[in-house]
A and B are shown apart, each in its own frame.
Chain A
C-alpha cells in the first residue's frame, strides 16, 4: 500500500467513524454551552471550529490504532 494514501482496516474505519460522530457532536454541545456562558454567539462558531480541528487531527491521519485488526485471509487448501 502507498503510505501517503493512509489506508486503514475495516475495524479501524468503524472506530474512526465513531470518533468522528461523537467528537463533532460533543464539540457542538460544548461550544454552545461555552458560547451561552460568555454570551457571544461568535464564540460558539470559533470554539466549535477549534474543537473540530482537534477531532480532525484524531480521525484523518492513519494512526496505528486504526490498523490493529488486519484482515486474515483463509489459508490455501492444499
Chain B
C-alpha cells in the first residue's frame, strides 16, 4: 500500500513552491526587460573647468607624486523616470573621455553618486567639484598638458530582481586641462 506521509507532502509542497517562486521572479524580471525605461537628457552636465596639479595621494594605487586633475561642473538631470516597482537604486557617474598619442581611448570616472529614491534622482547641482579622494584623476603618461576631455553622465539601474541596465547622456564640449601654479614643496 502506498501511503502519503507528512514528509511526502512536505517534499511535494516545497517542490511546487520553488517552481511557482521561480516563475514569479521570472515574470517580474521579464516585465522589467520588456518595459525597459529610458531617459533622454539634453546637456545634463556643464563643465566649468578641469584643473590639474602635482600632488601625492597616499591611498592611491601608485603612492608617488604625480599630476592629478579635478573637475568643476553643474549638473541638471532628472533620472526619476528610471524608477519602477523593481528598481533598487541608480548609480550615476561622470566619465571623462580623452585621447593620447599612446592610447586612443581613455575613460576615467571622476564623480559618482548612488540614488536611493525617485526624489533623489532629480539632481540639480551647481559648482560641484569632483571627489578626487574617491576617484583620483590621474593620466597614465602623467601629462595633462595639451589634452582635452569630454565629460559624459552615465547611469546604471540596479533592479531588485533581474538584470542590470545602463544608460548615458550626451557628452559635453571638449574642455582643456589647465595647470594650477603652486609653490613646490
Contacts and interface: CB of A to CB of B under 8 A. Distances in A.
**Do A and B form a real pair?**
yes
Contacts of B58: none
Main secondary structure of the interface of A (DSSP, over half): helix
Interface residues of B, number: 23
Given A28-B23, A32-B27, 6 more contacts: A6-B6, A8-B4, A32-B28, A41-B161, A42-B160, A60-B6
Interface in B1-42: 1, 3-6, 9-10, 12-13, 16-17, 20-21, 23-25, 27-28
B84 interface: yes
Interface of A: 1, 4-8, 12-13, 16-17, 20-21, 24-25, 27-28, 31-32, 35-36, 39-42, 44-45, 48, 52, 55-56, 59-62, 71
Contacts of A6: 5-6, 9
A31 B16 CA distance: 16
Given A5-B5, A39-B85, A45 B21 contact: yes
Contact of A7 (B4, B16, B20, B24): B4
B86 A41 contact: yes
A59 B13 contact: yes
Main secondary structure of the interface of B (DSSP, over half): helix
Contacts of A35: 85
Nearest to B83: A39
Nearest to B4: A13
Contacts of B6: 4-6, 60-62
B28 A20 contact: no
Contacts of B5: 5-7
Nearest to A31: B24
